[in-house]
Every structure is written in structure tokens, then in C-alpha cells.
Amino acid sequence: MPTRARGTWAPWIGLVVALLLVLVAFVVPPLFDWQVWARAPRSLGTGELPPLHGYWEPKLLGAGTLPAIALAVLGWRYAVDLADRLSWRRLLLVSYVVGLAWLLALALVDGTSGISRVLGDEYEYLRSARAVTDVHQLLTTYVDRIPSSAPDNWPTHPAGHPPGALLFFVGLVKVGLGGDLAAGLVVTVIAASTALAVLVTLRALGAEAMARRAAPFLVLTPAAVFMAVSADAVFAALAAWGLACLAIGARSATRGRCVAWSALAGLLLGYATLMSYGVPLLGLVAVAVLVAARSWLPLPVSAVTALLVVLAFAAGGFSWWEAYPVLNDRYWDGVAADRPASYWLWGNLAALVVCAGPMLGAGLAQVVGLRRRADRVVLLLVSATAAAIVVADLSRMSKAEVERIWLPFVPWLLLSTALLPERWRRAGVLVQVVSALVVQQLLYTSW
């Protein structure tokens, strides 16, 4: 097939494949009475809805429904034009304000509990954070409390992550923001900055035009359903800003600026590594950033700085490399052992499409269809992120719940939408916001 023909049909093919993947993933388990354990046995009383960690719960009208619909309509009508015409600073400001409003509106469909209920859950971080009185003791005993057989074992989420995540919430508690609602609002405010970090990265790499084309898809993302109050969205934001600093450092005109920005990138990425065991896979994206910038100067500074952060935690009592094998044992001792890889290896990808939106399929297919004619920066970043997703999926350490776990990868994959033909942009935004509204209004997503 000629390249031009591939470029014309690729988005349609990708969109159809993405929708079919989601449809099959939802239909197969109930149709064949296949128990895939999307939710743990303790929570199956309300049913499950694989590939999502949730269940069917239609809502007619919530506090955030009308604001969310209004934002969706306005975004469909104006987002593309504003992304093209606003000055860069105004684009960043508007992107943040609209993105934050989008996250809050969707969360408030469930009322204020849509912001507070997740973090207030006994399996999340806040209850453990409120009990912390000695950080040093926390670090020195952290690994011992990971096994489910430990007398004082950590709840699911603290056990499944390095202590950097828990310490974030300890900090919120110490400054008086440790309430369920207050912490949820803080998480949402931070999560809304992720799109800005990705836009800044593209501009630093000389791809401002691509940033503007991707902006509506990054801001009005269906992932907002899962980002508001999800701690993984904080990991995503921190890592995204680390990559943005890396890009700025790589393109800095002076060595001093390069060192400063690279060191900041190392600090952010190093701490992000201590918040989630999956973040190191973003190292592939970091390499893509340096390749796109045609500069390896930031690498030694950022790598050493990130390593120092990890070693500082080790000196304090927590060693990442000792904790991961212990976590692996707990993971396979739990529900993960019952989740069939024969479903989740592709069911995970369906959950990713639900999170990122159907236009992810169109965008990725366009990347493949254009190949060498695609924008170099976008091609590098999207390809590296796709490779990271493949590794994460094949590791089988992310069976189910990836609509939350893979949030750090979603915005980088959505850069593929910048390559869509002009006639697809406004319609694509409509598809995305409608998919977000459908998920939020019809499903209980657990996040």
C-alpha cells in the first residue's frame, strides 16, 4: 500500500481496532463465564467489570455532570482553535485551568466523595501516613512490613510501592492537609499539571507545533477520570516534570544551565522512582528525549543525581533493590496469581484504551502509517513509551488496574494524536470527551 494511502486509512484502522479491543475485553469474561479477577475476592459482592477495576453503576445527574458536559462542549468547539492561536504562556495557563476544571468536574459527578473516597480507603496511603511518627523507623522497617504474612504488614498500596509515595502523604498530614478531601484536592491540583510538563518538553525539543496540536488531547483526556485523587497521577506529574527538565537541560545554551536543569531532572526522576516501581521504565522515554535533543550532556549529571536520591534512601534504611523481590513475592501470593495472563496480556491494553481514550488507537496507527514522515520528536517519544508499555505488560507485574498504574505513560502515548490529519482534530476531541463522560457516568471505576 502506498505511504499516502496508509496515512489516509491508518487513523480509521487504529480507531476501529481500539474500539473492538475494548468491546471484546468487556464481552469475553461474562460471555464465556471466565473469572479473571479484575477485583479481589473481598470486593466481588458488587460484581466486577473487567478489564477495569470497577463495576456497572449508572448515575443520572451528579454535582459535576453539567459542568463536565459544558467543558466537553466548549472543548469540542474551541480547544483546537485556542491551541493554535494563543500565545505560549496563555496556552499553558489555559491548559492548566481547563485541565484542572475537567478533573474536578468529572470527579464531582460522584459529589465530594468522588474526591475523598479513594484516598480514604483502608488500602490506600492516608491511614498509614497518619500513623507515621518516625520517618527513620519507617524506612528501616519498610521492607519487613511488605509481606502479607508480616504481623504489621502494610496495606495494599503502601506495600506495592516504595516509601516515597507514602512519605508524600506523610508530608500532607504534617502540614495539615491529611484529611481525605484535602489530600484529594492536593493530588488533583498536582495531577492537572502533567499536560503542561509534556507541552514544555515538546517545546524545549523544538516541536512547539506538535505541542499545540496535542494540547487539546492532553488537557481533555479521558484519563482525567482516573487521575483525580489517584496517587499514580502524582507519580505521572513528577516524572513528566523530570523529563521536561531533562529536555530543557539538553537544549540549554550554557553548560551551567545544562547542569542545573539536568540535576533537577535527576532529583525529580530519582524521587519518582521511589514512588513507583514502574517509573524506571520511563528511562526509555528519557533516552528518547536526549536522542530528540541530539545531546547526551545531561545524562551523567541527571543519572548521578537520580542515583544519589536512591542511595540516600538506602542510607536511611530502604533499599529499592532489596524491596522489589519481596514485593514480587507478595504480589504473586495475592490475587495476581489468579489473574490469567491469557486474558490480561491483551485486557491490559483494552484498559489502557479506556483510560487514554479511543483516539489513542487512531494516533498510534497514524504513527505507524507515517513512519519516517512523522515528526521526529513525536515519533521518538511515542515509540519509547510504547516499548515501555510492552515491557510492563510482558512482565506480568501489572495484571489489571493498569487504567491507574499506567497513568505515567498515557500522556506520552497521546502525543501520537498530534500527527492526526487536520480534519480529525475537532472530531477527535469530541470522541475523547464523550468517552470520558460515558465512563464516568456509567461506571464505578474504583479510582
Condensed to tens digits (0 to 9), the pLDDT of residues 55-96 reads 999 988 999 999 999 999 999 999 999 999 999 999 999 999
pLDDT at 179 over 70: yes
Residue 323: all three cell numbers together: 524491596
- Write phi, then psi, for 222 (nearest 5 degrees): -60, -20
For residue 261, give the 3-state DSSP assignment. helix
- C-alpha–C-alpha distance, residues 119 and 121, integer Å: 5
* Cα three-residue angle 331-334-340, rounded to 5 degrees: 90
Domain boundaries, the chain: 3-444
Residue type, 292: A
What digits encode the pLDDT tens for the residues 241-289? Answer: 999 999 999 999 999 999 999 999 999 999 999 999 999 999 999 999 9
What digits encode the pLDDT tens for the residues 97-146? Answer: 999 999 999 999 999 999 999 999 999 999 999 999 999 999 999 999 99
pLDDT band at 353 (very low <50, low <70, confident <90, very high): very high
Cell numbers 504489621: residue: 152
pLDDT at 369 over 50: yes
Greater confidence (42 vs 14) lies with: 14
